[in-house]
Chain A
Amino acid sequence: MTTNNLEDKVMTEIKSGRVKLRSKYIFLAEKLGLGSALALTVVLAAVILSVTAFYLNASESMWYLGFGHRGLGAFLESFPYQLVLAVVGLVLIAGIILKKTSFAYNKPFGYISAILIAVVIIGGTVLGFTGLSRRMEDRAFSGRGAGQMFRPMFSPAFDERERGMAGVVSSITSSSLDIQTPRGIKSVNIAHLSQPLPDNMATGTFVVVVGKNEDKAFEAEAVRVVDQNAAPMIQRGIKRFKDGRIPGMMPPVPGLPALLDNANTPPSNCNCPCMAK
């Protein structure tokens, strides 16, 4: 193909209308779409970062660290990994989108990441002051509205833990405590504590416990009385889920082990047609 041939061929295609300019609005829509996706991702990352900070501040998670190495397991168990991973994932996605835009494609990824992280942190901090996370928590557990979609962000705070527990003391004996948690009343064995019970321990105090969740009770290693305003999300959870039923989560079955132990002995007041009769 000669030089002129090439020009002739291309221009023939253009003049015949077989090859047309793509509308400028298509490119505009592409740019707007990219910009919107970027804005949405950054805002979402800032919101989730704000929720993460709120979660750590309002749940009992950070209080476990006060027990030193004994509380590390409970802290790691209660840490909101999914929120942190969501923030990291969204920042990465935002970085990839940003690299596709015409103003940042030739900037180093480290530079873009630093700017994005700064924007997300500043945004998350500002959102932290607006009380948005608290409102999201309320919406998550009130009724059936759209707020239910926020539940996965907050519900891990109310998970049953293997290494720790937080709640209000409802009764005390020499060897055990009953603690009201968002998941109902839990029995805590305090016979094998590695340090004495705090002097100010009393019914109604808010305590954080580390130890191990055994079959029938929680074996405590250490108990600490904390401020009444500590872990407000847990305190709200106790009031909100009085029967231990947390919306969207498997309800606990109080006394289930005992029932299983006596499965062959029908209770005297049983009116239903039991299999064991």
Chain B
Amino acid sequence: MRISDTTTDEELIQKVREEDRELYGEVIRRYQTKLRHYLRKFFRDPDELEDALQEIFIRAYRNLYDFNINRRFAPWIYRVAHNEAINQIKKKSSRYAISLEEHEIDVLDKSLSVGEQMDAGKVSQQLGEALSQLKDKYREPLILHYFEDRSYEEIADIMRLPVGTVGTLLSRGKQRLKEIIKKSYDNQ
């Protein structure tokens, strides 16, 4: 069965569940790049990242009936990814290893206006380190909002938080990030 580009994710999931399980390949094609990008904020080792990604798609498939067809699919699969990433990190007791891409640095810098405080050659490393030092509850909304372009509502669905709390965490997270950057700049 062919699936057109206009078929929504939710329609696709309905078809996978009720008609043709092989259509799940289309779900993988649609989300693997986005989720790989998201998981890069959790895993530095590419093999670990790919293993986690495979586990996420398998877990999502197993639990497809848990997805409410009347809601949006993207936050649901991001939540599966979020939970799997957190589990893997806890299991291996490893720290977040955040490396930022060029456009992500620009996005964060525009929002925080901290570029002038940092050494131009080390902005990526310093921002990555500062993000790693943030508490999970602040870091994850920042990553989802600034790097994954997720709306407040989607972040609320992914993290299972009230929308108002997401706004508060983003605002406080930015403030804490600024403080960490300023402190590390002062220590130099």
* Chain A interfacial positions (CB closer than 8 Å to B): 1, 3, 6-7, 9-11, 13-15, 19-24, 26-27, 99, 102, 105-108, 111
Contact = CB atoms under 8 A, between A and B. Distances in A.
Task: Report the interface size class on chain B.
Answer: 20 to 34
Chain B CB count within 10 A is highest, among A13, A21, A105, for A21
Contacts of B10: none
Main secondary structure of the interface of A (DSSP, over half): helix
Contact of A14 (B17, B61, B68, B157): B61
A142 B163 CA distance: 53
B62 A19 contact: yes
B64 interface: yes
Interface in B131-188: 156-157, 160-165
A21 B28 contact: no
Contacts of A24: 17, 65
Nearest to B60: A10
B161 A106 contact: yes
Interface string B19-55: 0011011001100110000000000000100100110
Given A106-B156, A106-B161, A1 B50 contact: yes
B58 A21 contact: no
A9 B61 CA distance: 13
B116 interface: no
B73 to A, nearest CB: 14
Contact of B162 (A1, A22, A106): A106
Given A7-B29, A108-B162, A1 B61 contact: no
Contacts of B24: 10-11, 14
A106 B21 contact: no
Contacts of B32: 3, 6-7
Main secondary structure of the interface of B (DSSP, over half): helix
B58 A27 contact: no
Which 4 pairs from chain A and chain B are nearest by CB? A1-B50, A24-B65, A108-B162, A7-B28
Given A14-B21, A14-B24, A20 B165 contact: no
B63 A1 contact: no
Nearest to B46: A1
Contacts, number: 70
Contact of B58 (A13, A15, A107, A111): A13
B22 A15 contact: yes
Contacts of A13: 58
A108 B25 CA distance: 37
Given A22-B66, A24-B17, 17 more contacts: A3-B33, A6-B28, A6-B53, A7-B32, A9-B54, A10-B54, A10-B61, A11-B24, A14-B61, A15-B21, A15-B22, A21-B65, A23-B65, A24-B65, A26-B65, A27-B65, A106-B162
B57 interface: yes
A26 B63 CA distance: 10
Contacts of B58: 10, 13, 19
Contacts of B29: 7
Contacts of B164: 108
B27 to A, nearest CB: 9
A21 B64 contact: yes
B28 A11 contact: yes
8 contacts: A7-B32, A9-B54, A10-B28, A14-B22, A21-B61, A21-B64, A23-B65, A111-B162
Nearest to A20: B62
A105 B22 CA distance: 32
A13 to B, nearest CB: 6
Contacts of B65: 21-24, 26-27
